[in-house]
Amino acid sequence: MELCLKRLLLPVDFAAKQAHHGLFFNQGQVCCAGSRVFVEGKVYDEFIAKSKALAEKRVLGDPFDLKTEQGPQANQFSGNL
- Per-residue confidence of the chain (81 residues) as pLDDT tens digits? 455 555 565 789 988 998 888 888 766 666 777 778 888 888 999 999 999 999 899 898 898 999 988 877 776 665 566
Q: Are 22 and 34 a contacting pair, CB within 8 Å?
A: yes
The CA R_g of the chain, rounded to the nearest whole Å, is 15
Q: List all residues 6 or more positions away from 70 whose beta carbon is below 8 Å from its beta carbon.
A: 24, 27, 58, 59, 60, 61
Looking at residue 5, its pLDDT comes to 57
Looking at residue 6, its pLDDT comes to 58
Integer CA distances (angstroms), 43 to 40, 49, 76, in order: 6, 10, 35
Looking at residue 50, its pLDDT comes to 95
